[in-house]
Structures are given as C-alpha cells and as structure tokens.
C-alpha cells in the first residue's frame, strides 16, 4: 500500500480501493479481464468528495447512480445503506479530511459476448484517495477552453444523462483540448448548441442572466449544476436553462464550468477568444462564494449526522 509520512495517528494511506468489500492498496486492486466494465464499458459510476471528513451530497449522487442503472437495466446488488457503509469503511481507513470518492458498479463478469445476461453479479469498486486543494490560479485567473470538433453523443445513441463507464466520446474531446494546450473541451450537439465539458457543466452570463444548457441539449444532469440553479433562485438571481450557440458563448460577459470536485471555475478564453474582459467576472465570483457557503452549511449539518460522516479515530 501507499503511505505518506507518519503522523500523530500513524501512517495515513493516500489511496485505498474497496472491491466487493475487501480494501486494498492500489497495487493489489484487481478485477477480472472478463469484467464487462473493462470489456464493454458496461458499468456506471459516481464521483463525490469529502469536506472535513463529511461526504458531500451522497444521496444526490445515489439518486443519479440508480437512475443510470435503471437506464441500462443494470441491477444494483447493494442497497444504499450497504453502499454507504462500504464507502464509510474505506474512508475511515483512509483518514483524510479531503478525499476523492469514486463508486463504480459493473454488470459483472462473464463469457465474452454482448448479451448482458452473460454476467450475473455486480463488481462494486470504491476508490478513495487524498484530494489536494484545487490550484488557486483556476479561480484567480481562470482557464482557457476549446470547442471540440468531436460532437457530443446524441441522446438517441448513447444518452449523456447516463453516467456510464463508456467515456470514449469525452476522452477524444479531452485529447483534442490537451493537444491545443487548453484546460478542457466543450462539446456541441448535432444541432450546433453547447452541451457540456468533458467532465463538467458549462455556464454563461449575459446581461446578468445566468444561463446553462437544458438537459434536452444532451448532457449529464450535474449535481453541482442543479445545486447552483437552486441557490441562484433562492438568492433571487436570474437563472435559466436554455440553448445557446458557440457564437453566443463567445459574446458572453462571463463564463464558468461546474463539477463536484472543481466547484465553479471561471472560463476566460474559448478557442483563443476572450470572454468578457478575460478575467474571472464579478457574478461568477459571487456565485462561487454562494456555493462555498452552501458547502460549509452542508458540512456543518453533516457533522450532526454520524451515518454520513467520517470521523478520524485514534483507536484504529
């Protein structure tokens, strides 16, 4: 297993993997080459994190996990309570205040073939690792994105609202961004409307209106996206879900992306074109602070709910 320096509570493992209830270090974490997640991307997953040991919005991530499973006709063998127990068990051993948590459920192992019935039992993998704070420059100077030539998968082909292990569409778009030295890529749908980034939702601000593409454009219903919509409405800020094109995005006053692990990151250039004044805008900064305040309130509440909270233990 991987370790960092010894502290007051012993050696802290910086990455642990729970496979079907057995916790190992990354060098011992293995699944069969006949697992359908490996062979066909026949799996679903969710990613969240902990703030000060508190799991963030786990129930919302479970809601989406079960929706993805239903869309793929994939039976989840664990209950929510059982999955929560396994996540908590892994995080307790990891013992990191800020941790990345990835929950993967595959259809399981079986003979090679497309028939889903060839697998009968899920593999459940939980990856927990220490999560460093995001770089300050993301928020202070903003990031540059591109509009990818790769189009987002249409809903009629592989619905982007399903958070599955089939991520090749996103991988190709991200590779295009990296080749151009960009932070990430934004994908259009076949009608020419903005959908999302490779692992994040996209927003624009025009004349103080906060706009994000509708789910019907073909995108993942982000947990942070929905949270921000709700928070903006509570603050009586004008927020809407509607289609917009690349040209409309270029002419935005501000732009930003959202994701669970990145929160709100300002976008200051797209395809080399400056967005607004090419610096993080005031409303983007305001929204991020509103979101961070919400996070702190959730953490405060979470510490009063032992079932969803991971506390360090001197006795382990």
Catalytic residues: 163
Is 41 in contact with 31 (CB distance < 8 Å)? no
Is 51 in contact with 124 (CB distance < 8 Å)? no
The tally of CA atoms less than 13 A away on the side-chain side of residue 117 is 0
Residue-level length of the chain: 316
């Amino acid at each position: 297993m991987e370790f960092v320096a010894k502290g007051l509570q012993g050696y802290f493992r910086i990455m642990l993997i729970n496979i079907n209830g057995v916790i190992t270090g990354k060098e011992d974490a293995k699944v069969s080459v006949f697992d359908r997640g490996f062979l066909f991307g026949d799996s679903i997953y969710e990613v969240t994190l902990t703030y000060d040991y508190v799991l963030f919005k786990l129930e919302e991530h479970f809601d989406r996990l079960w929706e993805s499973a239903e869309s793929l006709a994939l039976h989840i063998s664990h209950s929510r309570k059982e999955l929560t127990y396994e996540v908590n068990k892994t995080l307790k051993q990891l013992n990191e205040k800020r941790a990345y948590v990835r929950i993967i459920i595959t259809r399981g192992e079986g003979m090679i073939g497309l028939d889903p019935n060839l697998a009968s039992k899920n593999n459940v993998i939980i990856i927990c690792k220490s999560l460093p704070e995001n770089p300050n420059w993301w928020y202070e100077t903003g990031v540059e994105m591109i509009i990818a030539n790769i189009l987002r998968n249409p809903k009629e082909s592989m619905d982007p609202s399903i958070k599955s292990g089939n991520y090749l569409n996103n991988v190709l778009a991200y590779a295009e961004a990296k080749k151009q030295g960009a932070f990430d890529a934004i994908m259009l749908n076949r009608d020419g409307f903005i959908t999302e980034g490779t692992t994040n939702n996209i927003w624009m601000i025009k004349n103080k209106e906060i706009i994000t593409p509708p789910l019907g454009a073909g995108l993942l219903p982000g947990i942070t996206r929905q949270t921000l919509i709700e928070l903006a409405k509570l603050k009586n800020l004008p927020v809407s879900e509607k289609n917009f094109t690349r040209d409309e995005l270029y002419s935005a006053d501000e732009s930003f992306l959202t994701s669970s692990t990145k929160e709100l990151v300002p976008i200051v250039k797209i395809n080399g074109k400056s967005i607004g004044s090419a610096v993080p805008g005031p409303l983007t900064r305001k929204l991020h602070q509103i979101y961070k305040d919400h996070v702190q309130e959730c953490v405060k509440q979470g510490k009063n709910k032992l079932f969803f909270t991971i506390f360090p233990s001197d006795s382990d």
